[in-house]
Amino acid sequence: MFQRIKQSYEKSLSDYIKRYKSKHWQKRFKDRFDIINLKYLNNFRNNNFSKDLDDRHERKYQKVNFKLFKKEVNEKFFLNFLSTVNIGNNKNFFYYKKKIIDSNEIFHLKWMYEIKNYIRDKNIETVCEIGAGYGSLCQKILKFNNIKKYIIIDLPEANLLSSYFLSKHYPNKSYLLYSDLKNKKITKKDIENKDIIIITPWCDIADLRIDFFINTRSFSEMNFSVIREYFSLIKKCISQEGYFLNINRLEKSTTGQSIKFHNFPYDNYWLPLIYKKSWNQKRLFFFLAQRTTYQNFCKIKIVFLKIKILYLLDYLIVKFNKFKSEIFNKLNN
């Protein structure tokens, strides 16, 4: 499998369409993936490969988070999704009942707990995650019995890691990687006998029907023109009454643009289901919506007014704290 993964990575690099790689990722991926071998992938969670794709916190902070998490999430639910195998040799974790826990596990499990009833919907079989990082959330969602296919769309560097990570967790599943494609337009026939499909943003999936789209924390790291493309893709491919989970910063500026959540191009055919600040990450907004055949003008406008107000309050708090700090420094100099 390693040779397939490496071949897929090298082919996707040679075909790279640079506009999908924002300044945020140009800076963070620079020089990191120059040498690719099995030893580096075996240790990708402790050798800098997964940096910026992987929450890294001290064990003390992780345990505080986990204590809060356990108060809100049923133990029987989350133990089912945890692993005893440390793929990538992460050094920053702790054990709970012989299962591995780290920051990524905690946040991803909390998000899954929020959406579990929607993921379990009998009509949900195909999931597409845009920006899956090294595949942690995918690895968990695939444990739901109704999920038949999982499509990942991400940059080649992230796909390298998710291909490795998922192939170690699910060696018996069938994979479609970038190097397997004869052309960049993917059809139902291409994925007919595949469980996990890992492709790049310049692949065309317009002929597919997706029941559940997910983006967590990466729309705000893309150029806005690329965000528009993804929203067009979602509207085109989402199945009737399908779902879209969007967890992103209220505002982020690491791309050279100010990417604000309340400017994301939702139309009026989305029914808001869950909308609130994300658990224990107060600058993130958690928004689950369902695609409808009728307009939800008032509901969607009210939600986005709320998001804009939260953004403005957050902005004012940051400005006020900065002002306080400047006054304090002046008084002490």
Q: How confident is the model at residue 111 (pLDDT cuts 50, 70, 90)?
A: very high
Is the pLDDT assigned to residue 323 strictly greater than 70?
A: no
**pLDDT tens sequence across 237-293:** 999 999 999 999 999 999 999 999 999 999 999 999 999 999 998 889 999 999 999
How many structural domains are present in the chain?
1
pLDDT at position 53 is: 87
Q: Is residue 121 part of a domain?
A: yes
Q: Is 184 exposed, middle or buried (0-12, 13-18, 19+ CB in 10 A)?
A: middle
Radius of gyration of the CA atoms of the chain, in A? 20
* HSE (side-chain half, CA atoms, 13 Å) at 32: 21
Q: Is residue 329 part of a domain?
A: no
Between 121-125, 173-177, 208-212, 312-316, the lowest mean confidence (pLDDT) is in: 312-316
- Contact by Cβ (8 Å): 228, 265: yes
Q: Is residue 330 part of a domain?
A: no
Q: Is residue 331 part of a domain?
A: no
Range of the domain at 197: 2-322
H-run or E-run covering 118: helix 103-119
pLDDT at position 52 is: 84
Cα separation, 290 vs 315, whole angstroms: 29
Q: How confident is the model at residue 39 (pLDDT cuts 50, 70, 90)?
A: confident
Cα angle for residues 283, 286, 288 (degrees, 5° grid):
165
Q: Is residue 170 part of a domain?
A: yes
Q: Is residue 147 part of a domain?
A: yes
* pTM value > 0.85: yes
**pLDDT tens sequence across 40-94:** 889 889 888 888 888 878 888 899 999 999 999 999 999 999 999 999 999 989 9
From 152, 122, 162, 141, select the one nearest 1 (Cα to Cα). 162
Cα angle for residues 34, 39, 45 (degrees, 5° grid):
80
Q: Is residue 311 part of a domain?
A: yes
More confident residue, 29 or 271: 271
- Contact by Cβ (8 Å): 227, 262: no
Q: How confident is the model at residue 329 (pLDDT cuts 50, 70, 90)?
A: low
Q: Which residues pair with 214 in a beta bridge?
A: 129, 245
- Sign of torsion, CA 171 151 186 240? positive
CATH for 238: 3.40.50.150
Cα separation, 55 vs 96, whole angstroms: 18
pLDDT at position 20 is: 93
Q: How confident is the model at residue 219 (pLDDT cuts 50, 70, 90)?
A: very high
The conformational region for residue 48 under phi > 0 = left, psi -120 to 50 = alpha, else beta, is left
- Cα 106 from chain centroid? 14
pLDDT at position 218 is: 95
Is the pLDDT assigned to residue 326 strictly greater than 80?
A: no
Q: Is residue 327 part of a domain?
A: no
CB atoms within 10 A of CB 11: 16
Is the pLDDT assigned to residue 320 strictly greater than 70?
A: no
